[in-house]
Amino acid sequence: MHAATTSPAVGVPSEFAFDLQDFELVRTLLKQHTGISLSESKRGMVYSRLARRLRATGQRNFRDYLNGLRQGTAEWEQFVNALTTNLTYFYRESHHFETLATLLRTRAKPGTKLRVWCSAASTGEEPWTIALTAAEVFGSLTPPVEILATDLDTGVLATARKATYNAETVSKVPEALVRRYFIREASGDFTVRPELRSLVTFKQQNLLDANWQAKGPFDAIFCRNVLIYFDRDTQLQIVSRFAPMLAPGGSLFVGHSENFAHGQRALRLTGRTVYVRDDA
Ligand SMILES: C[S@@+](CC[C@H](N)C(=O)[O-])C[C@H]1O[C@@H](n2cnc3c(N)ncnc32)[C@H](O)[C@@H]1O
């Protein structure tokens, strides 16, 4: 048991002291490693998420924990996993999946597979929605589509791979599609059917890395609701790397509050937060 101390960070008695210097170091390390810019208002959130890691690793204070990280321990992965925000749901910004359906229909060619990269896949609802969309377009559990799903956070990727969700999570999927594409488990949870699961490959990928494992060309790239965590320069750098990875006429889908109209000559806005590679 640790003695309670009063931490100025959260203004209430807390288990570990966490001062402004500790918080600033967390912000710096996270930004360098992941691109994520944490605002000052996130101090309480950082405390509660990392306090769990201090307990799990038996550290007595933030200073030692953070110094250990700087020496490059295996704890990095857990540090990052603890601080990412993973909110997602099936058919989020559903208009994108209508656009994707049209894209898949118009770009289908006999004998070739369409390729989609979901670059911030979180717990899997987004790549599985892409898979459901493809299955509906082609009227098949084995549509000619391959989906690469990546995320920085290894914890969420494990959930995504498992493809099992509770009834509340699946309630965002139209009932007819739940019946067609999910198996109901004895527990009451729902698992994506194995045929659809074979469409998706999951890999860990930090969008900040100089070399991406993902290799184009892709017919569509989804990068939704992650760029908002980066500063403007980082956003523009990442988006400019997507353009050459798209096949000519391929599309980039970003989140509703992510707007790059003024930054990118290679990408032309074609719909609500959908950009097409423009080779004109
Ligand atoms: C809010 S979720 C969005 C999930 C999904 N794209 C959606 O729109 O519903 C943001 C995801 O981005 C991931 N992420 C954050 N920084 C990243 C980075 N540098 N590289 C790759 N993924 C990152 C987080 O782990 C998290 O799963």
Q: Per-residue pLDDT tens for 61-97?
A: 999 999 999 887 789 999 999 999 999 999 999 999 9
Domain extents in the chain = 5-83, 95-277
Structure tokens at 257: 């509050």
Task: Write out pLDDT tens, residues 178-237.
Answer: 999 999 999 999 999 999 999 999 999 999 999 999 999 999 999 999 999 999 899 999
CA of 257 from ligand 1 middle (Å) equals: 14
In whole angstroms, how large is the CA radius of gyration of the chain? 21
Residues 158 and 176: their CA atoms lie apart, in Å, by 27
Q: Do the annotations mark residue 27 as ligand-binding? A: no
Find out if CATH 1.10.3720.10 is the number for domain 5-83.
no
d(CA 101, CA 83): 34
Specify the residue with its C-alpha closest to ligand 1, atom 14: 152
Q: What is the CATH number of domain 95-277?
A: 3.40.50.150
Label residue 278 by pLDDT band (50, 70, 90): confident
Dist. CA 208 → ligand 1 center (Å): 12
